[in-house]
Chains A and B, each alone.
Chain A
Amino acid sequence: MKLKTLSSKIWMPTDLREAWRLRQLLQLESHFIAGGTLWQTKWEKGAPQPSHLISLENIKILEAIYEKEDGGQNFLHLGALIRLADCLRYPIIKAKWPLLTKAVKTIAAPAVRNLGTIGGNVASTIGDAIPALLVMEAKIGCFDGDDIKKIDLDHWLNEEFKDDLITEIVVPEISAPPSYVHFYQKIGRREAFSGSVVTIAGIIGQNDNGTIDFARLAAGGGENRPRRLRITEQLLDGRKVESALLKKVHEAVFSEFQPAGDAFFSADYRRRVAANIVIAELKKLEEKD
């Protein structure tokens, strides 16, 4: 554990190709680094420091942020280097992607959010923004040396090996009727500024006669890689909120969500809490009815 100075050499490429080339050249001896906030925590816990760090902070293109229509749907393009704090600063994000705002607000604290990037949060595979991005069915841009490829975040998370250079996060706008519930909850070990025990997000909608016609849920927390709760989603689809369903949904979340426990909270606790939160949200939906 040596934090004061690192033994790594720091590279500061100014474009994607250069960054990619360095990574190919240095391979396992190297890592990408953006804000560096997560790395710092890992090093302090004894993670080995690589010989080379490839900083992405000078690649201007990664700071782009814009809205764009594509195939009739509106998308938010967030450059990977956008600081978490900036995700909270743009009024447009708050207005059209409220779930993202809600999620980012729960990450760390203002000073850390001024350094940490959204790209780093996603690339870490355990970031608290991920459950929100999953239920919005976000895609990520990955640079492969020539091109930027769009990959479903969900799909990317389920892949084994991750060595991509993430360029942007692309988030569709979900223009949901007011009868939908959107939720994002991070249950930490204290009220604020703590790692997550359970992070859960969802969008659930029902049509005029109270039948659920839209259900997306995702859960993670702690060292657990967030994932969609597809079995539960299917269970909800086409059903009405009623006691029998609540019971089934509770069971479904409990069995589908399989996080690991740690010294502070058991796996069971996490599963129960996730299930309880989903039920609480379903009840809200019932009230909207």
Chain B
Amino acid sequence: MDYEEGKGLRLKQVCIRPDGVEKVTGHLKFLTDLSFPNMLFAKILRSEYPHANIVSISTEKAEELPGVRAVITSKDVLGLNGFGLIFPDQPVLCKDKVRFVGDAVAAVAAETEEIAEAALQLIEVEYEPLPVVDDPEQAMLPSSPQLHPNGNILHQASYQSGNVEEAFQSCDCIVEETYQLPRQMHAYMETEGGVFVPEKDGTLTVYAGTQHGYKDRYQLARILNMPEEDIRVVSSPLGGSFGGKDELNIQPYGALLALKTGFPVKIHQTRRESVRSGIKRHPMKIKMKTGAKKNGKIIAHQVRIIADTGAYATLGPAVLDFAVEHATGPYMIPNIQVEGYSVFTNNGVAGEFRGFGGNQVTFALEGQIDRLAVKLGMSPLELRQKNLRQAHDPGPVGQKIAPTDGAQQVLKQISQSKLLNSCRKQDHNGLIKTGVGVAITMHGGGLGYGRLDPAGGRISLNEEGKIEIAFGFEEFGQGLLAVIEQIAIRAIGCSREDLHIVIGDTYKVPRSGSSTASRGTSMVWQAIQRMKAPFQNSLLERASQCTDVPVSQLKIGEKGVWHQDELLISYKELAKQTIDKPLIIETRFDFPATPCSIPGGHFLYSFAACAVKVEVDLATGFVRVKHLEQAVAAGPVIFPQGYLGQIEGGSVMALGYTLTEEALIEKGTYVTENFDTYLIPTIKDVPLSIDITAIEELCEEDEYGPRGVGEIGTVAVAPAIAMAIYDATGIWVNKLPVSREEIVNKMMETEMSKWLTSK
């Protein structure tokens, strides 16, 4: 492939993304860049309180403001006043109760954004504040105010095998620790927005980014009380998503206002509005107790996860299931007990986020392994090796999975990293300490057992003579178009100029499911493998019919069908001659899930190992990641630039998660409201070298091709950094983002006397 042995993945061969030129020239119209004649602008009024009853809402004054065209409240919701990917418990517009500061109470459409904004201030809402439930553990108590009719526990999940209590009795070494993970913000650079256009024929066109156009259409149809077919959702491209735009955000308000006014309505949230209303990564508190024998064999692992899911469900249950499933990761442990709770609070809303609960449990799990290694006096790599799964072992919850040697492969690869044996620099004052750390992970792809996970695609020869490939996936930066292009060129044998790729428009694409859970690349590959032979055969047959040359002598190539090194008939000509019976091949199938009945149980996994070198400044507690390496086993690399970009970008996102990022909420209200206080890494915060090695080899019997790598690069980074900090300072990090304060305080205790001694 395109990487040089021993040097990590490198871009030897230049391959320009199909959407590249438009992106670098600024010509690409994002959906928030669109405008239409007579367009109105909308603003959404969000709750003043994290928890309150609504006593009354009066919109008269706002309606009277010149330039205001419509004001909507819960009364104006045409259909179901609720949304949510799993179940619709989040009100579109709150009627009598608000449960978080992002709850929408009213929305306004006006001739300008400024008028809409001014109108919001004229809407009078009388609230009766209620006690704020801001701690998930408190929320679980019966005495806590109940946020939903079925109580505060949204979802409970568990897994058990063997007998942990007994096993702990025979352990030589036990580590018990509680880990706390923060509320991370996706921080996609394009905030939520789009334009909603009521068409003359009574239909509605929605131009708003999402990860799953058909799902938005389904949810909007319910809210608008409109047939799904009457709604067209144009949903790509997006300026980033990372899971954050899979759930509905501003769509219901734009749609309702467009229908009410009869004019196109634009909404583009400010960053502040985005922070306040948008979903975040689940904060989790994870307690783990892990025991091993003297020889390093881990025999018991007990886990309790409490996830703060915020005010509404969205994908909370699925995230918890994922965390429970991944709580033992790639290790074979005979006695396991995992229980997890996803709990409602008034703290924002947590939902889907790249990594999907895996990041949190992996931080805890890898932390346990490192602590055990230190306690046992064993090298962390050796301890991992001792307990690591083999190719044919069952999955982490005992389920049948596709055989994979990924865990062994990535561990072996990372063990060879020069980083781990690099020299430990010490500055003259002894205050800058260097350390290294490693962590590994496995990560399931697809939605898993028991979740509808249909996929599909379409190949056709369109009227213009282009080979049209259509998928219902979305492009939010991951390079989907390049992936489709590369797979199609290789499978079909045509050139990139012969292709026309269509995505992100429910009027034009088949159903492919959501662009989520690292399923995109995998689905595209599988779909094209399925469609390739029928398409090629049919194409050749048609060519043969048009030219009277037998199929056996024909070959698909650039521009058309070839015969003995000569272009015999172009695709254009072929399309023209067969216009009466267009060539269309479609496929539908389900993303492979484990046959074992475990909710959310996965079948396909990818693996990663991460090594880092950090510098810790004891005087300030500042941690700098100097080098980072990742080895990834996720099958063949389709589009090297995209693969590399996913792992590099994922690494840095995880670096932010580890060191600076936290969407801080105090008493239900965000403290971090924009990029001045919510700090994602800048170019100065990242290691200048990030080395990626792609392990492409799959097990012989593996017929599933490339796996997606959208998430895997984010998972192992945090625990690797935590280990490196321990290596440098002897301080165990159990809470993210890493507390500089704790490092400085500990250093005051241990190094102070040395520090305050002159030479």
Contacts and interface: CB of A to CB of B under 8 A. Distances in A.
Chain A in direct contact with chain B (Cβ < 8 angstroms): yes
B758 A242 contact: yes
Interface in B638-662: 659-660
Contacts of B758: 241-243, 245-246, 283, 286
Interface of B: 113-114, 117-118, 270, 272, 428-429, 431, 619-622, 624, 659-660, 664, 666, 671, 673-674, 676-677, 679, 681-682, 684-685, 740-741, 744-745, 748, 755-759
A-B CB proximity, top 10 nearest? A276-B619, A192-B684, A191-B684, A269-B741, A246-B756, A191-B685, A243-B757, A263-B671, A242-B758, A243-B758
A272 B660 contact: no
Given A280-B431, A280-B619, A4 B113 contact: yes
Max chain A Cβ within 10 angstroms of own Cβ: one of B621, B681, B756: B756
A264 to B, nearest CB: 8
Given A44-B272, A241-B758, A250-B756, A272 B744 contact: yes
A245 B756 CA distance: 9
Given A241-B758, A280-B431, A44 B741 contact: no
Contacts of A1: 272
Contacts of B270: 3
Contact of B114 (A2, A264, A265, A286): A2
Nearest to A262: B671
14 contacts: A3-B270, A5-B114, A189-B660, A190-B679, A191-B624, A193-B682, A195-B676, A246-B756, A269-B741, A276-B744, A279-B619, A279-B755, A280-B431, A287-B759
Contacts of A283: 429, 758-759
Interface in A238-289: 241-243, 245-247, 250, 263-266, 268-269, 272-273, 276-277, 279-280, 283, 286-287
B655 to A, nearest CB: 10
Contact of B682 (A190, A243, A272): A190
A16 to B, nearest CB: 33
A194 interface: yes
Contacts of A2: 114, 117-118
Interface of B is mostly: loop
Question: Chain A, interface size: which category?
Answer: 35 or more
A80 interface: no
A187 interface: yes
Interface string A150-166: 00000000000000000
Nearest to A278: B619
B674 to A, nearest CB: 7
A41 interface: yes
A7 B308 CA distance: 41
Contacts of A189: 660, 679
B744 A4 contact: no
A240 to B, nearest CB: 9
A72 B5 CA distance: 66
Nearest to B755: A279
A130 to B, nearest CB: 19
A268 B684 CA distance: 27
A6 to B, nearest CB: 10
B114 A192 contact: no
A246 B757 contact: yes
A279 B759 CA distance: 13
Nearest to B662: A264
B679 A272 contact: no
A191 to B, nearest CB: 4
Nearest to A247: B756
Contacts of B671: 263
Contacts of A190: 659-660, 679, 681-682, 684-685
A248 to B, nearest CB: 9
Contacts of A247: 756
A269 B114 contact: no
A99 B619 CA distance: 21
B756 A266 contact: no
Interface string A1-32: 11111000000000000000000000000000
A4 B674 contact: no
Contact of A279 (B684, B741, B744, B756): B756
A192 to B, nearest CB: 4
A41 B114 contact: no
B113 A277 contact: no
Contacts of B622: 187
A28 B355 CA distance: 52
A44 B685 contact: no
Given A4-B114, A193-B682, A269-B741, A263 B664 contact: yes
A44 B674 contact: yes
A265 B681 CA distance: 18
B621 to A, nearest CB: 8
Nearest to B428: A287
B114 A273 contact: no
Contacts of B748: 272
A227 to B, nearest CB: 21
B756 A243 contact: yes
A193 B677 CA distance: 11
Given A44-B674, A280-B429, A194 B744 contact: no
Contacts of B118: 2
A266 to B, nearest CB: 6
A241 B756 CA distance: 11
Contacts of A195: 676-677
Nearest to A193: B682
A261 to B, nearest CB: 10
